[in-house]
């Protein structure tokens, strides 16, 4: 473990959050943040790889980390191919708060469900009650996407810079990293 703490859950969650957010930041080298049609399957796959690899280093003592990386990459490719979009890299094209909340929650839940289902296949044999991960992922994304989307639109309206939307996406990743990190620790315990 990178950090030591008297509270192992805090240490694990912090490592998970740093790994996940760092993966998102690295993914920006390959993925141009945009609207749903701007992010393709290949870019989403690279993004999934950038996220899954550092996560796999955190949980490698509990699961087959190569499988985690592969299924996460495939999940991101799948949600992009079926039209949900790479929810962690796309900015909603609507400027109204209620629609952003609705679509963020809906697309976040669907995307999170697909990602959780795929990742469940990597943890099901080695983690008790692993089926919960599917719903943890769906709920985490359903909370994180509208949260980040609202932050993004507020910053965009305030600054008139698209960078505000990118900050909103970073908030999405921070929220999802914290929520999934807390619950990953509980499942792996």
Model confidence pLDDT, tens digit, residues 164-185: 889 999 999 999 999 999 999 9
pLDDT mean over 12-27: 93
User: What pLDDT does 37 receive?
Assistant: 65
| Matching residue, tokens 């280093």 | 57
Mean pLDDT score across all residues of the chain? 89
2 against 84, higher pLDDT: 84
In SS3 terms, the chain reads as: CCCCCCCHHHHHHHHHHHHHHHHHHHHCCCCCCECHHHCCHHHHHHHHHHHHHHHHHHHCCCCCHHHHHHHHHHHHHHHHHCCCCCCCCECCCCCCHHHHHHHHHHHHHHHHHHHHHHHHHHHCCCCCCCCHHHHHHHHHHHHHHHHHHHHHHHHHHHHCCCHHHHHHHHHHHHHHHHHHHHHHHHHHC
User: What pLDDT does 2 receive?
Assistant: 45
Model confidence pLDDT, tens digit, residues 50-98: 999 999 999 988 777 889 999 999 999 999 998 887 788 878 777 888 9
Model confidence pLDDT, tens digit, residues 132-144: 999 999 999 999 9
pLDDT of residue 6 exceeding 50:
no
């Amino acid at each position: 473990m990178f950090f030591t703490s008297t509270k192992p859950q805090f240490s694990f969650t912090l490592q998970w959050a740093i790994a996940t957010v760092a993966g998102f930041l690295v993914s920006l080298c390959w993925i141009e943040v945009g609207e749903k049609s701007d992010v393709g399957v290949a870019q989403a796959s690279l993004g999934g790889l950038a996220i899954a690899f550092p996560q796999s280093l955190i949980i490698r003592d509990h699961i087959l980390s190569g499988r985690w990386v592969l299924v996460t990459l495939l999940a991101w490719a799948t949600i992009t191919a079926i039209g949900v979009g790479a929810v962690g890299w796309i900015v909603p094209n609507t400027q109204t708060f209620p629609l952003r909340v609705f679509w963020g929650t809906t697309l976040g839940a669907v995307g999170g469900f697909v990602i959780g289902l795929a990742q469940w296949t990597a943890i099901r044999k080695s983690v008790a009650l692993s089926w919960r991960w599917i719903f943890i992922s769906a709920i985490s994304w359903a909370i994180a996407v509208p949260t980040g989307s609202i932050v993004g639109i507020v910053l965009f309206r305030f600054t008139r810079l698209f960078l505000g939307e990118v900050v909103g996406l970073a908030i999405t990743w921070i929220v999802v990293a914290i929520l999934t990190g807390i619950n990953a620790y509980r499942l792996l315990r």
